[in-house]
């Protein structure tokens, strides 16, 4: 069977490779000049910048992915565990390293709140169960029918996953110190809702963070993409870049192929790994769409981001590979993303300095900085706004490092809403897909298979299982499995 995959992001790559393993002829059409989607990479002034994802969590998901093809992660890139995992800067400028070793982490919790070390053990024990069930069972379900969950052992699992309790209430059963609360709640900031509106199921992210650890592929996150592309090509997948799809052609309820700016490409099945909203609302005729524009407008989106890629011609003090600046009001910033969308008054921000770990990403004696402010989607994104926030966070970064930085910047590039739209056709300029709220989980997410076009499928962060690199890897595999069920080899 001849399958066309639209988009060479993580989900598209995983789908293409899995389909090729099944014996299908697979071609990937990518609108940009290189693979990776949001995980592209660019080089300038001697610096190498990962454009999007920078956290490598859930290493088992990557091992399982390459393992299904008889390969190992180490066949494609060198992985190192970071210690400390990251640094958190709390209010008042207090900087705390989060150690990789559990014994040291337990001692850190005790220092903040006596008795919290033992409670951390229980918190992570429960989180480990959620991770095992969530990441090894539920995320692999295609979400095509509620009957997928109608098995006694799965119903028992579901009851123990804390789906009806909020993350906010859950973590406060274990910890009281505001610094510990911010530490365990920060991963949900990128899931698309406040801790009050995020199911406690997502403490599985804390298990991924604090127990499985934070890792880094030497050479940058794009090394994962390079490995996935190499593996796909080994299995016969064809890649064509600078090939924006303009239409999914449908006849008699079946996709017969796609039309690009230059020609028509026939196909027996189509997998849309591009932005779901764009693929459905712009590439399909009205009668072939699953959802209306009104439906999409009512979805709760995860955040967008204001990003800065910065090259500095000197080394900087007091930085780690990952640095979280919680030196402002965590709750207020979350409110300004999710509940009253606006540009944040005093934003939290994240600074990645991969040159602290990897000398290949910056010239000798220089520092590579990736700066990120989580912001609401669908905001008015102007150059004046970007400039204001650049100086706002650089002032705080200089204070933390204890040295001037802006006068040593030799390269700077910003990236935000309008860039996400231009490069990825991102709905409302979002960066992370749909929020992981209870009413947007599993079968309540946009369907991975078209209800009106029998051989059209969707994959990526706007469908099951959700946003993030590991879920996107899984999404591509789930779609390939569904195609195999529907059509065979």
pLDDT in tens, 251-307: 999 999 999 999 999 999 999 999 999 999 999 999 999 999 999 999 999 999 999
Q: Average pLDDT for residues 161-167, to the nearest whole number? A: 88
pLDDT in tens, 308-363: 999 999 999 999 999 999 999 988 998 899 889 999 999 999 999 999 999 999 99
Same domain, yes or no: 263 and 284: yes
Assess if residue 441 is contained within a domain: yes
Assess if residue 83 is contained within a domain: no
pLDDT score at 299: 95
Same domain, yes or no: 314 and 416: yes
| pLDDT-based confidence at residue 193 (cuts at 50, 70, 90) | confident
Assess if residue 9 is contained within a domain: yes
Sheet holding 367-375, edge to edge: 95-98, 86-90, 322-326, 349-352, 367-375, 304-312, 409-415
pLDDT score at 191: 66
pLDDT score at 366: 98
Assess if residue 469 is contained within a domain: yes
The domain that holds 353 is classified in CATH as: 3.30.519
pLDDT in tens, 199-248: 999 999 999 999 999 999 999 999 999 999 999 999 999 999 999 999 99
What is the C-alpha separation between 432 and 425, in angstroms, rounded?
Answer: 13
CB count, 10 Å around CB of 317? 9
Same domain, yes or no: 449 and 476: yes
Same domain, yes or no: 194 and 277: no
pLDDT score at 111: 98
pLDDT in tens, 139-159: 999 988 877 766 665 556 666
pLDDT score at 188: 81
Same domain, yes or no: 121 and 7: no
What is the C-alpha separation between 462 and 424, in angstroms, rounded?
Answer: 13
User: In the listed set 160, 184, 212, which residue is the last one of a domain according to the structure?
Assistant: 212
CA distances from 107 to 9, 101, 110, 116, 284 (A): 40, 10, 5, 9, 56
Same domain, yes or no: 307 and 403: yes
Domain that holds residue 294: 2-70+219-299+434-487
- 99 pLDDT exceeds 80? yes
Query: Where do runs of H (alpha helix) occur along 284-369?
Result: 293-297, 330-338
Give the burial class of 231: count Cβ atoms within 10 A of its Cβ; 0-12 exposed, 13-18 middle, 19 or more buried: buried
Assess if residue 97 is contained within a domain: no
Same domain, yes or no: 460 and 410: no
Average pLDDT, the chain: 95
User: In the listed set 164, 181, 212, which residue is the last one of a domain according to the structure?
Assistant: 212
Assess if residue 472 is contained within a domain: yes
Assess if residue 357 is contained within a domain: yes
pLDDT in tens, 67-85: 999 999 999 999 999 999 9
User: In the listed set 186, 212, 238, which residue is the last one of a domain according to the structure?
Assistant: 212
- 475 pLDDT exceeds 90? yes
Q: How many domains does the chain have?
A: 3
Assess if residue 325 is contained within a domain: yes
Same domain, yes or no: 319 and 420: yes
φ/ψ (deg, to 5) at 237: -70, 135
> With the C-alpha atoms ordered 270, 42, 470, 371, is the resulting torsion angle positive or negative?
negative
Dihedral, CA atoms, 397, 401, 404, 408, nearest 10 degrees? -80
> With the C-alpha atoms ordered 469, 470, 473, 475, is the resulting torsion angle positive or negative?
negative
Same domain, yes or no: 367 and 269: no
Same domain, yes or no: 121 and 55: no
pLDDT in tens, 124-136: 999 999 999 989 8
Same domain, yes or no: 141 and 208: yes
Same domain, yes or no: 295 and 322: no
Diameter over CA atoms, the chain: 67
């Amino acid at each position: 069977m001849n399958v066309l995959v639209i988009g060479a992001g993580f989900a598209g790559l995983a789908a293409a490779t899995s389909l090729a393993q099944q014996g299908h002829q697979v071609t990937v059409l990518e609108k940009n000049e290189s693979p990776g989607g949001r995980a592209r990479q660019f080089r300038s002034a001697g610096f190498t910048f990962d454009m999007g994802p920078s956290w490598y969590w859930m290493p088992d998901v990557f091992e399982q992915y390459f393992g299904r093809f008889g390969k190992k992660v180490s066949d494609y890139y060198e992985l190192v565990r970071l210690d400390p995992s990251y640094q958190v800067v709390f209010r008042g400028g207090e900087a705390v390293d989060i150690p990789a070793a559990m014994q040291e982490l337990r001692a850190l919790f005790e220092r903040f709140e006596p008795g919290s070390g033992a409670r951390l053990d229980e918190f992570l024990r429960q989180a480990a169960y959620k991770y095992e069930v969530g990441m090894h069972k539920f995320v692999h379900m295609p979400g095509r029918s509620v009957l997928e969950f109608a098995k006694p052992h799965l119903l028992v699992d579901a009851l123990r996953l804390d789906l009806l309790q909020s993350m906010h209430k859950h973590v406060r059963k274990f910890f009281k110190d505001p610094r510990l609360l911010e530490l365990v709640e920060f991963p949900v900031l990128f899931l698309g809702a406040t801790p009050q509106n995020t199911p406690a199921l997502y403490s599985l992210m804390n298990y991924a963070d604090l127990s499985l650890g934070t890792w880094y592929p030497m050479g940058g996150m794009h090394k994962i993409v390079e490995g996935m592309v190499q593996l796909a090509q080994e299995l016969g997948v064809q890649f064509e870049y600078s090939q924006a799809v303009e239409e999914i052609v449908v006849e008699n309820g079946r996709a017969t192929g796609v039309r690009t700016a230059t020609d028509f490409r026939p196909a027996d099945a189509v997998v849309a790994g591009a932005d779901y909203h764009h693929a459905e609302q712009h590439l399909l005729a009205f009668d072939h769409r699953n959802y209306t524009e009104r439906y999409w407008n009512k979805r709760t989106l995860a955040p967008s981001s204001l990003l800065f890629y910065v090259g500095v011609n000197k080394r900087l003090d007091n930085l780690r590979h990952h640095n979280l600046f919680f030196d402002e009001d965590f709750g207020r910033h979350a409110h300004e993303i999710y509940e009253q969308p606006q540009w944040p008054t005093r934003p939290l921000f994240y600074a990645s300095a991969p040159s602290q770990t990897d000398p290949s990403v910056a010239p000798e004696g220089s520092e590579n900085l990736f700066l990120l402010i989580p912001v609401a989607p669908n905001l008015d994104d102007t150059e004046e706004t970007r400039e204001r926030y650049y100086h706002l966070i650089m002032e705080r970064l200089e204070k933390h490092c204890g040295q001037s930085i802006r006068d040593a910047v030799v390269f700077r590039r910003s990236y935000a809403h309008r860039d996400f739209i231009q490069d990825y056709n991102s709905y409302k300029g979002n960066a992370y897909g749909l929020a992981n709220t209870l009413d947007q989980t599993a079968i309540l997410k946009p369907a991975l298979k078209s209800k009106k076009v029998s051989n059209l499928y969707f994959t990526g962060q706007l469908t099951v299982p959700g946003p993030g690199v590991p879920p996107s890897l899984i999404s591509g595999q789930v779609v390939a499995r569904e195609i195999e069920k529907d059509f065979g080899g």
